[in-house]
Amino acid sequence: MRFLTLALFLIPLVAQTAAELNFTKEIGELRGLHQQLPTWLNAEAEKYLAKRPKLDNLAAVKARAAEFRKQLIANIGGLPERTPLSAKTVGVIERENFRIEKIIFESQPKFYVTANLYIPKRGRGPYPAILFPLGHEPGAKSHEAWQLALGSFATKGFVALAWDPAGQGERVQFFDPDLRASRLTQSTREHSMLGVQTLITGESFARYTIWDGIRALDYLVSRPEVDAQRVGVTGNSGGGTHTAYLAAIDDRLKVAAPSCYITSWSRLLAQLGPQDAEQNLPPFLNLGYDFPDFLYAFAPKPYLVLSAIRDFFPIGGARATFAEAKGVYTAIGAAEKMQMFEADDGHGYTLPRRLAAYAWFSKWLKGEEDDGVEPQFPLATEAELQCTPTGQVSTSLNGESAFSLNQQRARQVRGKARDVIEAARTLSGYKPISGAPPVTSYGTSQKSGYTLDKFVYQSEPGIWIPAVLAVPSGKAGKRKTVIYVDSAGKSAAAARLKDWMAEGKIVLAIDARGFGELTPELRATEQWFGDSSSVQTALMIGRSMVGMRALDIVRGVELLARRNDVDVASIQGIGVGRASVPLLYAAAFDSRIHSLQLDGMLSSYMSIVDSRLHRQVFEHVVPGVIRHYDLADLINAIAPRTVDVRGAVDAMGAVTTTR
C-alpha cells in the first residue's frame, strides 16, 4: 500500500512536469505549428513545379515526352518481363447487340487477372477497341457505370475490355474467407498497404497495376475482332489515373480520355493531398513533373480531359492543366486534338461524360459522329460477370498475390552498399545544414534541482523545432548530455527527468517534425499509415520523413555542441517509439552522437516486406532501401559506438526482442 500511495503521489508530479515541457502558455504565438510540416512540404513542392520548362514546338514536346516516359517507367521500378498470357475464356453472356466473354489471363506467371471482353454482334470487324481501366468503385467490373459504358461502346461498334484491378472485384489481395471481404475494407487501403512494401524494394505498387493494363492491351490487340491500329483508352478515377499512365507509356494507344483524374499538383496538394500509393510515383515532383506531362507524352494524338465541376479532384487544377496543354497543342498545330469536357456534377463516370466519350472515340477511331444516345440493355449481376468459381482468384486459382510477388522481388534485389552510411544519406534525401541554428527563446525557469529553458530552433528554413533544455544545478564544468526524441513528444521526458538530473546530465528533449506539438491533424483513416499525406509529399519531392527528422536531431546536437557545459564526447541519443529509426539515421550522419539507446525501434525493413499487414511504419520508408542496407547494417556501420536496442518491434508493432 505504501508503494501504491507513493506511485499515486508521483503521477500528478510527472503530469505537471510533462505539461511544463510543452508550450501551452506560448501557444498563442506558436499557433499553427501542428500544420507547419504540411505547409512547408507544399511550399517546397511549389519550388520544383515552378521550374517546369515552357514547350512551344513539336521537337521540344517530343523530347519532353521521351524523357517523361523513361522516368515514369524508372519511377515504378521498370516493367516486368513479358511472359505468356495463358488467356482462356471461361464463360459467355449473350446480349442482343453484343456478347460478354469472361476471360482469365496471367499478367505475370500465376498472377491471374479476371476480365470481361465486350464484343459487338453487329457490323463487320475488325472493330476499333477501347481499353477500359477501372476506378475504385465497389463491384469492380460489375459496377453499373462501367457496364453502361462498356455495353454502350460494344453496341456502338467497339470491342471493349475491362479487368479487375489488383485489390478489387475478384482480385482482392487481402481477402479474408471468414469476412468474405478484404480485411482492409477498401481497395485504396490495400493499394497503400502494398505500396509501402513495394517502395522498400525501390518500386511502386503502380508497377503491378500498369503492367496489368499493358498485358490487358496485349490481349485486346491479339483478338481477331480488333483493329490494332484503332485502340483508345478511357477510365474514371483510378481508371482515369491508369488512362493517363498507359497513354503516356504505350504507343499502341491512339486516343485517350481520362475521367475525374486530371488536375494539377498545386491544387491537389492545397485542397486534397496525395492519394493512394498507385497514384504517387516518387520522386515525381522533385523531377519537375506535373499533370500536363501526361498529356504531352501522348501529343499530338487526340486527348479529351473529362472533368466534374464538383469533383474532389480540384476542377481549378483540371482547368489550369488543360489551358497549359491546349496552348502547347495549339503551338504544334494540333489544337483540335486537345479538348476538355466539364459536367456540373460530382465524381464518377456519369452520363454526360460517357456521352462525351462516345462522341470523342467515334470521331477519332471511326471517323464519324456518334448519335448522342446511350443504348438500353440489361445489366449483369456481379456473380454473372465473375470468372472464378468462388468469386476470388485467391481461393479459386492458388496463384501469386502482389504481396508474394513483392517478397520474391525484395529478395531478388536485396543487397548491401559498399558505403552504407553514404547510401543512407543519399536515399533518405538528407540535406545537411552547417552553422548554428537560429533560436527563439521562450524563457528560463528555475525548478527544484535544475533550470529549464524553453525555445524553438530552426532545423532548416521554414521548420522550427520546439525544445526544452534541462540543466542540473550544481558545480560548473562539462557534463554528460542526453538528446531525447520520443514519437509521443518531448513531454514524455518528464517521467525520466528527475533521474537524469540526479545523475548530473544535461537533457535536450525535442519535438522532431511530426512529433509531439508538431503532430498534424490526421484523418481517422490514418490508423494504418500515420501522417501518410506528409510522408508521400516528402517522397514526391525527393525527401523522406526519416531524413528530415534526422536533420532535426542533428541540428539539436549542433546546439549542444556549441555549449561550454556539454561534454561533446559523451552525447547520448535516446529514441523512443517511431523516433528511434530517425535517431539511428542521425547518429549515422553525425559522429558526435556517441551512443544510442533505441526503445521500441522497428526491427528491420524486411519485416515490413514479410508482414502481410503493417501499421504506422510508412514514415520509416526510404525508397529502394533494401537494395542497399537494412537497419542492422546501419547499426553495424556506426561501430564501435554503442547501440542499445530495447524492445524492437515488428511491422505491426509487436515486441520481437526485449533487449
- Residue 292: CATH number of its domain: 3.40.50.1820
Q: Do residues 389 and 433 share a domain?
A: no
- Please count the structural domains in the chain: 2
Domain assignment present for 17: yes
| Rama region for 480: left / alpha / beta (φ>0; ψ in -120 to 50; rest) | beta
Residues of the chain short of pLDDT 70, as ranges, are 1-17, 24-31, 522-525, 658-659
Gap between the Cα atoms of 386 and 443, Å rounded: 68
Q: Do residues 190 and 314 share a domain?
A: yes
Residue 177, pLDDT score = 85
Domain enclosing residue 242, as ranges: 58-412
Domain assignment present for 5: no
Q: Do residues 101 and 208 share a domain?
A: yes
Angle (nearest 5°) at CA 269 between 61 and 652: 115
Gap between the Cα atoms of 232 and 240, Å rounded: 13
Backbone angles phi, psi at 455, to 5 degrees: -160, 170
Residue 25, pLDDT score = 61
Residue 658, pLDDT score = 58
Residue 13, pLDDT score = 47
β-sheet bridge partners, residue 176 = 181
Residue 343, pLDDT score = 97
Q: Quick one: which of 45, 612, 485, 526 has its CA closest to 288? A: 45
Q: Do residues 407 and 458 share a domain?
A: no
Q: Do residues 485 and 392 share a domain?
A: no
User: DSSP E strands: which ranges in 502-622?
Assistant: 506-510, 566-576, 595-599
Residue 34, pLDDT score = 81
Contacts of 140 (CB under 8 A, 6+ apart): 134, 164, 165, 168, 169, 170, 171
User: pLDDT for 563-585, tens place per residue?
Assistant: 999 999 999 999 999 999 999 99
Q: Do residues 590 and 552 share a domain?
A: yes
Backbone angles phi, psi at 200, to 5 degrees: -65, -30
Angle (nearest 5°) at CA 582 between 579 and 586: 130
Q: What is the pTM of this model?
A: 0.94
Q: Do residues 375 and 439 share a domain?
A: no
Secondary structure, 3-state, 318-375 = HHHHHHHHHHHHHHCCCHHHEEEEEECCCCCCCHHHHHHHHHHHHHHHHCCCCCCCCC
Angstrom distances, CA of residue 415 to CA of 27, 130, 409, 410, 633: 47, 42, 12, 9, 11
